[in-house]
Structure 1
């Protein structure tokens, strides 16, 4: 469908700034904006960073359509398409400080103090990386921060032994991106990550360490040692040239009228009818680029069809 606005509808509040507010400019938020434009809806997308910023951290892709083989390549394609979408107004470099719902609108406040209103909002703010202090199964010196595994380039990792904390899927991405690297990965992970490590279990470069608890001690330079307590209480000492993180992410929902579960994620079915949650913010179990693109597109269509319901009689 052409990128043209729909005809005005009787009863549509003229005071709304746009038809749809989108919070978050990752794959889900961008897909929502593109789909909204495809059905003639105007949107405003607020993103504190560049579009699809996390895709730039993924050196190799093997599970998306369109022939894209790296995150930066896919991010560039998405950003270019969205910037050419006339019905989407981009608010890049802008944080959402509050989201409020009402009977007939959603109000979003930006960090500039500007308030935006629309009949519906899509919230697709995704997640941010965790640190050792955020994981109950890790004991580490106070204030210690470690880099995520995606920052370990092949040249710097070649021939070294890396301790990887957590079994998140960035490990599989690293191995696919560097198929010939001689790096050895010692992957220490809790029971909650058991299902995540299946895709790397057979890789000869990986040694899996299912743990109940791990105590980390920095050594000289980037070297580290750790005491690993297994699930059955057995203990072993582990030494590595460096340590990296793959313990997952924490949801980053904006303040305001969003319902959060015990894990911090925002279940879509528990939100106000005018707020539609999309992408990684929904759950930790289905965090994939393809599912984010699909859920963002579906979120925009939900808002589109909701605005076209006939008014209630009486």
Structure 2
């Protein structure tokens, strides 16, 4: 791939030279740094790049320019190169304009002038923007290729695993892509062998498990040590926060995740109310940043392994894995989060993975291009999914059991959904049936007021209802409430549960009924069920891990 371009735009010649100099010093080896003195000149530069098929990574424009303001220019760039990163250089007096541009044109960041010293004020911002751009534009030569069928559940699972672990891949449908059919024939593969996973410099994988895919890609599927200070079960926001704080404070730390770090939040196309990110960020971006932090401090990640039991072995806690050696640790943090509840309607189970999906990742939207898509749910996760799917789908319908969205969804999402002509909302409605020949083709809806049923054409159904905790594997030593969520802290001592605590000392906050085992995030009884609170509880759990370790 040609070196990606960075265009700087400023009508003040000394300022233009200064920012070009600073960017060239840091990024010139891997990027082309191009200067323009006006919006019109920068658009000409951009046009030449596009005609030559050369990538544009970033445009940094001053706000106050004659003829065309920075925001007007960046709006043109967003329309012509939607994936380019946009940086507005502005004075304090134009802050309101910059904030409006975040909503109006999708501005990625604004930077107050002057930016000296660049090591503190310019480079960290540009580093983040270029990192995001490069993650979204990996070179194709070393991509994993997945060959399969569009409506195959096994193909869907492999693609989801790769996407959630930020592994670039090329999807080749044997019915739509000649190259996919050619590769299938070259491999001598039949339907039982699909999907094929073609790893550069590796063996062809036929209908592989996620463990086999992870191993082929060099992802760690087994722990390295015999004993850890803390084992964190679950790699969502709570688990990753716990890993960052534990590892940074010198505790030997391992995270076990059955799928990929990020959890449900990692599948979100946009988290727009997370503190410190005025434009919002994707769940995948948040997860990737947290993973990098945790690994930087020395935390291990064990992927694609299911945890099947938790045992107390004297002062040690043992986490038992399916298909791998047990992990022993002096303390454990349960951060397994929740999964979406299954929708009970005839025909849905048979079509699971064949058009019917529970949750989705942001990249799945492109597969729905031009199709009829239905989403069930009324919480923020459903709202974010609907907005993301509407960018590609022919029609998107949100099905809601309640009377309105406002009772369960954040207002900013409700307003955006109402303003989007591509989205229809059906309140007081339920999905009561599904049918299709090999994949979803029709849904049956019922009006909860009248009882009238309607059959509609549907290619995809994404379900975002309720929350079921992943606690079936915990033994009787870990007390759960009537819904399966883990009970912690003072709730173990009295009140509604009676006494479920075995020691003379009171339990630490977040500590479960098994001393030395803590719960954080959505899996904990009475937790807030928000990304920010999960991060807070994951961080806080490490404080109590330290206090517990001091007692043994």
Shorter-chain TM-score tier: 0.7 to 0.9
C-alpha distance in 2, partners of 1:193/1:143? 30
2:435 to 203, 207, 218: 218
Q: Output the CA distance in 1 between the equivalents of 2:303 and 2:393.
A: 40
Match of 1:167 among 378, 387, 390: 378
Aligned to 2:350: 143
Q: Give TM-score, length-normalised by structure 2.
A: 0.46
Report the counterpart of residue 140 of structure 2 in structure 1: none
**Pair 1:290-2:523 in alignment:** no
Q: C-alpha distance in 2, partners of 1:166/1:50?
A: 24
Query: Which residue does the alignment assign to 1:260?
Result: 480
**Larger RCO: Structure 1 or Structure 2 (Cα < 8 Å, ≥ 6 residues apart)?**
1
Q: Which has the higher strand share?
A: 1
Change in CA separation of 1:188 and 1:24 when aligned onto 2, cut-off 3 Å: same
Change in Cα spacing, 1:161 to 1:89, as seen in structure 2 (3 Å) is: closer
Alignment of structure 1 residues 92-241 onto 2, 5 Å: 92-101=303-312, 104-112=315-323, 114-132=325-343, 135=344, 138-140=345-347, 143-145=350-352, 146-148=356-358, 150=360, 153=365, 156-158=368-370, 161-177=372-388, 184-190=395-401, 195-197=407-409, 199=411, 200-202=413-415, 203-204=417-418, 205-211=423-429, 214-219=431-436, 222-230=440-448, 232-241=449-458
Q: Deviations over 1:77-117 (max 9, x none)?
A: 1111111113x333334332211236644222233553443
Deviates further, 299-308 or 169-178 = 169-178
Query: Does 2:39 match 1:39?
Result: no
Deviation digits for residues 33-91 of structure 1, max 9, x if unmatched? 211133332222222333325454222221223436222222221111111113x3333
TM-align CA RMSD: 3.4
Please tell me whether the aligned partners of residues 431 and 443 of structure 2 are also in contact (alpha carbons under 8 angstroms): no
* Rg comparison, structure with higher value: 2
Q: CA deviation at 1:124?
A: 0.8
- Choose the corresponding residue for 1:77, options 289, 296, 311: 289
Higher share in helix: 2
SS of 1:37 mapped into structure 2: helix
How many matched pairs? 287
Aligned to 1:12: none
Gap change, CA 1:245 and 1:275, over 3 Å in 2: same
8 A Cα contact 2:333 2:520, kept in partner:
yes
Q: Shift of residue 178 of structure 1? A: 6.2
Mapped partners of 2:468, 2:247: distance in 1 = 30
State the TM-score, normalized to the length of structure 1: 0.75
> For the Cα contact (< 8 Å) 1:60–1:176, is it kept in 2?
no
Distance in 1, matches of 2:544 and 2:235, equals 19
The residue aligned with 1:6 is none
Shift of 1:223: 3.1
